[in-house]
Amino acid sequence: MIYFTGDTHFGDARVPRIDRRPFSDMSDHDTALISNWNSRVLPEDEIWHLGDFSVNRAGYAEQLLSQLHGEKHLIVGNNDPAETTRATGWASVQHYAEPTIDGHRLILCHYPFRTWNQMGKGSINLHGHSHGRLKPTLRQFDVGVDPRGLRPTTLPELLKKQSGRIRLKDTAHAE
């Protein structure tokens, strides 16, 4: 299975206040997000983290990555320091990616786009950064933890929410 998430902000004391996450301290926050991740993602699954993984604390990102299930890919966010991007445990690190998954061309970036590659041909933009504060648009999804129940999500779950407006085959990338 392939999962998507973002904006975990592990260890960032600003997040519970700014994003109104329901935790009394960062230890509870991080423990809950690790548990939510591992309850969905199996060790053999793949997961794309779309930026803002953790704070800049020596060894912290590597410690977290060793606890989290899955083959982990990072799409770099504006709050990802070198400590995070250089951490052992990422299968890949990049600022942007265009994988095709289950016949759907995905445009992955930390930032949401107004337009994106192959938009008129059904590609789908997955992003983080906005913490659920942007109005959803057709074939564009904020996969950050705030609008997703503080847990990773899948492409079928995202598409199901828009299935009344688009048919899944209409979004397939023509090879």
Q: Which residues of 92-128 are buried (b: 16+ CB within 10 A; e: fewer)?
A: ebeeeeeeebeebbbbbbbbbeeebeebeebbbbbbb
Whether 169 has a pLDDT exceeding 50, the answer reads no
163 vs 88, residue with greater confidence = 88
Place of tokens 């074939």: 139
Percentage of the residues of the chain whose pLDDT score is greater than 70: 92
Per-residue model confidence as pLDDT tens digits over 51-91: 999 999 999 999 999 999 999 999 999 999 999 999 999 99
Which residues on neighbouring strands pair with residue 125, listed in sequence order?
107, 140
Q: Which helix (H) or strand (E) holds 46?
A: strand 46-49
Domain boundaries, the chain: 2-171
User: What does pLDDT average to over the chain?
Assistant: 92
Give the CATH number of domain 2-171: 3.60.21.10
